[in-house]
Amino acid sequence: MASNYLNIIEPIIKKYDGKKEAIISILQDVQTQLRWLPGDVLALISKKLKIPLSSLYSIATFYKSFYLKPRGENLVTVCLGTACHVRGASLILDELERKLKIKSGETTQDHKITLECVNCVGACALGPIVIVNDDYYGQMTKVKVDKLVDHLLGKKE
């Protein structure tokens, strides 16, 4: 595993000339490939860049786009931005949490679906919005959520 990780990490570090200040970009690029940041990977980066591991965790836990736990195959994101909120986004989130039996930020036991929230994806005209991987589902209602979840679970079974 470790050598696999090295194959991923080394070219990325090289792309940024091994600069410490590029650490956020480096972590982002690594995460793009692995979908999350395993502890082993952080340890390797820490060694390579000579940045204390604690500093890496300080960064990785501060910014919301870093994941220190594996994510499911599908990412379901609910927008809780203001425009979506006043159009009832919280009820949509409730429904998803209930249907998927997980809370926001969690992954289903079979690792099929991770549920997340964001604050505005800039498509406020379509609110409330749910995004599944890269597909946008606008003007969501509970009935539409149910169909979407059935579809997601069904498709993957």
Partner 1 sequence: MVRINNFNDLERIRKNILEKRVLEKITITICNGTGCQAYGCQRLTEHFLAKINQNGLKEKVEIRKTGCHGFCERGPIVVIQPEGIFYQRVKIEDIDEIIEKTVEHKMVIDRLLYEEPITGKKIIKEKEVPFYKKQLRIVFGKNGLIDPTSIEDYIAIGGYEALLKVLRDMKAEEVIDEIKRSGLRGRGGAGFLTGLKWEITRKNISSNPSLGGYIVCNCDEGDPGAYMDRSLLEGNPHLVIEGMAIGAYAIGVNKGFIYVRNEYPLAVKNASIAIDQAREVGLLGEDIMGSGFNFDLTIVRGAGAFVSGEETALIASIEGRRASPRPRPPYPAEQGLWAKPTNINNVETWANVPIIISNGSDWYKNIGTETSKGTKIFSLVGKINNTGLVEVPMGITLREIIFDIGGGIPRGKKFKAVQTGGPSGGCIPKEFLDLPVDFEKLTEVGSMMGSGGMIVMDEDTCMVDVARYFLHFTQEESCGKCVPCRIGIRQMEKILREITEGKGTLKDLQTLETLAYTVKNGSLCGLGQTAPNPVLTTLQYFREEYEAHIKEKRCPALVCKGLINYFIEPEKCVGCLLCLKNCPSEAILGGYKMIHVIVQEKCLKCGACLEVCPKKVSAVVKISGEKREGPKEPILVDEWRRKR
Interaction site with partner 1 (CB under 8 A): 20-25, 27-28, 58-59, 62-66, 80-83, 85-87, 91, 94-95, 98, 118-127, 129, 136, 138, 141-143
Query: 44 vs 89, which CB is nearer to ligand FES?
Result: 89
Q: 99: closest CA among 123, 82, 78? A: 78
Query: 26 vs 115, which CB is nearer to ligand FES?
Result: 115
User: From its phi and psi, is residue 97 left (phi > 0), alpha (psi between -120 and 50) or beta?
Assistant: alpha
User: Residue 96, exposed/middle/buried by CB under 10 A (0-12, 13-18, 19+)?
Assistant: buried
Nearest approach, Cβ of residue 62 and ligand FES (Å): 23
Nearest approach, Cβ of residue 82 and ligand FES (Å): 6
Q: Which residues bind ligand FES (CB under 6 A)?
A: 79, 81-84, 120-124, 127, 129
Three-state secondary-structure class, residue 130: strand
